[in-house]
Structure 1
């Protein structure tokens, strides 16, 4: 074993990053959202970076893994899963199962609507939480390994098949400001089709995005149909997507598919659960995509057997890292399932990892999602720049990003100074600032 590849130290830095008032079926984004930066330092002096969700339940799993990892090689990314499970904490000891897809994890309050506000990915389980934590450690190890060997991460994954990766504009209904105060921007409100089109025009003008995805489930379906129709008129021939995060019934989903079948590239998670998605798929030719009913390998067989989806959105945070994202891509190729890429609120470390793995996936034929243009803060320098809706794949060693330690320290201070209100993302709580009677709706909502 090469001594310089041995992990000497792991640094965990929870942070709070500014977030605009973007609306979804759960409520609205809080003024800041938690992220966790993982830094792996080797005996050879290489420092590797990873990023994932920063809510308390993720920190509780990350801390023992950070303590257990020193002494192991950054090459042993396959061993991270067993190491994480052995390091604990054991979720079953707190009354939550260590296995199973449909049972909530320890520390996660059950939600009537069956989705997790942080990722809107279906029920959060102990195994899913652990995969999201391991993903950041794997990325950090690969970054450190690449820096040691002088190779980009994409070379460690088998090599890139494209020099640029295309991303899609992520459109949101939104308020012009947070109701209780917080960070401001110059985007203004977008609460009707005209506002959504104006938002899309700015994304097109400033970033060159060629495709558009609208976060739905916020208003009644007729209003969101009108927004997609307005986009189709403003941008004829451009790929359009609509994602209501499981807010609709089977009947409503089929009605929307009939209305928009001629303009949608795909309809993402119109209803919650594999059975509902299968019923919709049987009644429409519009391709159905998911990042809710299929987010682990255990969920794949049922979805394929029931022909519930035609496109799976990969996300290395969900699936357990970059290598497992490639395993998912191979599975999709085998079964003739399309592959796209999901995004949640993230910074430049995650964006670099997304771009590196996306560059290695021949079957990735859809533009990737990204929230990144909505984020005004980052911990890497310089900020990535989209040109014609694309990011150039870095050939620099590792992920190709440099850590801005001053920015990291400032965002960590914000986390330390928070009274606990923002350390766990809760879009419903943020909505109650404006509407005290609000509670996240049961689905189907319409």
Structure 2
């Protein structure tokens, strides 16, 4: 075990990367050929390196860089002091800072989550213990994840663009195949479940009219039967009356319905009229949102995301708050690589309860920055990495390659609307469409 002497942070390395991403559809448009991520490394005086990964955005990267002077010289165990420093520097972020898109656009939560995970990785390496032990210890040896389906256009993303690899087989072939109707979604689901053993299924909706998407859910039910839990996410793009009509129709087959409508009030109104539990990662997205959530009764399940809730320890606190106020907790996902997957798995292993398989985009990503490649998903679950800290190591060659892709692709932030206009000129994101 490494001693704590020389543990102060003496360097911070910020590496923006671009990872291949297929043209996946959602309420805000379609994914670009590359998704942006940022890999953070914190280096201690004794040479210990802690790593983390967050959604990539030039503003977030600039915010991280601007916080450099607040981070250098800090003890990686002093996370409360670090958070206090950052909060004083960035100021309070309101709920409106999140933005109306399906992804969170706040800066402080991203910056702190990146720093916190890297510090926990350092702590674990100093102590010789995995991050899960720093969160209270393992409640399970592996963490269940769900198949995450998307409507998509044909194509694999990245340098291939819309072209297909004729030699691809299995999931690699399905990953690049078009899926814009119930038949395509069922094909995608079977390929993903065959490849990874998922035992729960989620469909990202909001891309097409409610009738087609509802029919897709019933097609999944017909294909997989009642023993495979199904969940559906219209991305808060339905009108209240639309959500009630199709929510009633879907009641017999859904495990939960995620963000069918926008705002806590509309969610609460709908929740009174449906038997299906409602989940959210859009209407209740911060601790400041919880009092109104409890007052209105806006959801049954909060989908945490340590990138958006301020880190792993904050997510553990959220689990206790959820239990106090009669909520279940599960996990949201975004296009991510193995560093985030490892952090999500440590968190999932430490949570007191995991009543629902967690979300992950991981099968959609074909690259990784981990030595040894991607973390394996076996029978729909990921084993908790056993090494100290996060238990994963950076592949320096892949990091350099993906950084070069970032420099070459020309993207600086996520913009699904502009990408959608390449397919449908003049298309505009609407917060409520159907």
Which stretch shows the higher mean deviation, 348-357 or 278-287? 278-287
For residue 54 of structure 1, what is the aligned residue in structure 2? 56
Q: Which residue pairs with 2:191 in the alignment?
A: 202
State the 1:86 CA deviation: 4.0
Q: Deviations over 1:288-327 (max 9, x none)?
A: 0000011100011111110110000011001100000000
1:26-175 aligned at under 5 Å gives the runs 26-88=28-90, 98-102=92-96, 104=97, 115-116=100-101, 119=103, 121=104, 124=105, 128-175=106-153
Whether the 8 Å contact between 1:33 and 1:423 is mirrored in structure 2 is no
2: distance between equivalents of 1:40 and 1:267?
A: 39
Going from structure 1 to structure 2, the CA distance change for 1:418 and 1:197 (only over 3 Å counts) comes to closer
Cα distance, 1:444–1:401 mapped onto 2, change above 3 Å: same
> Within the alignment, does 1:253 sit opposite 2:243 as a pair?
yes
Residue in 2 aligned with 1:389?
Answer: 380
Structure 2 segments unaligned to the other structure (5+ residues): 166-172
Task: Give the CA deviation at 1:116.
Answer: 2.4
Structure 1 residue 351 corresponds to structure 2 residue 341: yes
1:409-420 to 2 correspondence within 5 Å? 409-419=400-410
Rounded Cα–Cα distance in structure 1 between residues aligned with 2:371 and 2:359? 22
Q: Within 2, Cα distance between the matches of 1:181 and 1:202?
A: 21
Native 8 Å contact 2:306 2:314 kept in 1: yes
* In 2: Cα distance, 1:75 partner to 1:301 partner: 30
How far did residue 285 of structure 1 move? 1.1
1:408 to 375, 399, 403: 399
5+ long unaligned stretches in structure 1: 91-97, 106-113
Cα distance in 1 for partners of 2:392, 2:202 equals 27
The answer (yes or no) to whether the contact 1:11–1:66 under 8 Å persists in 2 is no
1:443 to 417, 425, 431: 431
Q: Number of matched residues?
A: 419
> What is the rounded CA distance, in whole Å, between the counterparts of 1:373 and 1:190 in structure 2?
16
Rounded Cα–Cα distance in structure 1 between residues aligned with 2:153 and 2:433? 21
For normalisation by structure 2, the TM-score amounts to 0.93
- The within-5 A match list for 1:291-440 is 291-382=281-372, 383-419=374-410, 422-440=411-429
- Decide whether the 8 Å contact of 2:100 with 2:431 is kept in 1: no
Contact 2:202 2:231 in 1 (8 A): yes
Displacement of 1:87 after TM fit? 4.4
Give 1:143 shift. Answer: 0.4
Cα distance in 1 between the residues matched to 2:43 and 2:390: 15
Map of 1:109 onto structure 2: none
Asked if structure 2 preserves the Cα contact closer than 8 Å seen for 1:65 and 1:83, the reply is: no
Aligned counterparts of 2:89 and 2:292: Cα–Cα separation in 1: 31
Equivalent residues of 2:237, 2:432 under 8 A apart: yes
In the TM superposition, what whole-angstrom CA distance separates every residue of 1:208-260 from its partner, at most 9, and x where no partner exists? 00000000011111111110001111111210000011010111111111111
Q: 1:3 aligns with which of 5, 26, 40?
A: 5
Query: Aligned-pair distance for 1:67?
Result: 3.3
